[in-house]
């Protein structure tokens, strides 16, 4: 429990330092890394094609698979902390109101052979933890929402020019995963 409190405090301090108007901009904090650290886990390279600045279209998908709504935004994914950690900054434009935003950090836990991720957003204003696996074709992260829903996020169709991301919810009665959101990302030129 003490370890979790310490980790949460460190993560909160990191995010506060990055986004505080009293602090220097991110590029002046020397947190960005040019690429993965040569000593980082090999799985870190699975994110290589996802690194960059992306224009996105997020779609909410209904039970039938039809798109219910769509919004534009941006998603920036980059290496930080000497190339051991992947960070992203996500912003979804909203009509009438503040944009939805989240920041995520993930590192490969070599002992557990799994990705460990933490995200925080400006909507629910809480930390969310996920774990998952990756290969050169996809990254998959599982987590439990505060509502108790089991969710799975998957990055797939990854190329140098784009990728897709989907969030699925487990139907505990049937054991099937149902897509609720999808992102189509195109690399900014």
- 95 or 61, higher pLDDT: 61
| pLDDT value of residue 30 | 64
- 178 or 18, higher pLDDT: 178
Q: What is the pLDDT of residues 91-147, one digit of tens each?
A: 998 877 788 899 999 999 999 999 999 999 888 888 899 999 999 899 999 999 888
Fold entry, domain 31-187: Lipocalin (2.40.128)
Q: How many residues does this entry show for the chain?
A: 189
CA distance 189 to 186: 9
Residue 165 pLDDT > 80: yes
pTM for this structure?
0.82
CA distance 145 to 165: 18
């Amino acid at each position: 429990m003490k370890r979790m409190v310490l980790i949460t405090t460190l993560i909160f301090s990191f995010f506060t330092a990055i986004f505080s108007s009293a602090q220097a901009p991110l590029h002046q904090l020397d947190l960005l890394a040019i690429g993965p650290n040569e000593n980082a886990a090999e799985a870190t390279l699975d994110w290589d094609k996802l690194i960059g600045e992306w224009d996105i279209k997020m779609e909410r998908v209904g039970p039938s698979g039809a798109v219910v709504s769509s919004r534009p935004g941006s998603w920036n994914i980059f290496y930080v902390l000497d190339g051991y950690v992947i960070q992203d900054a996500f912003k979804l434009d909203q009509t009438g109101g503040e944009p939805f935003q989240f920041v995520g950090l993930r590192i490969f836990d070599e002992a557990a052979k799994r990705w460990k991720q933490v995200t925080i957003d400006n909507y629910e204003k809480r930390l969310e933890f996920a774990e998952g696996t990756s290969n050169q074709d996809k990254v998959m992260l599982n987590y439990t929402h505060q509502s108790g829903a089991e969710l799975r996020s998957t990055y797939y169709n990854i190329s140098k020019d784009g990728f897709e991301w989907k969030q699925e919810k487990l139907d505990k009665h049937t054991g099937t995963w149902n897509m609720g959101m999808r992102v189509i990302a195109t690399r900014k030129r």
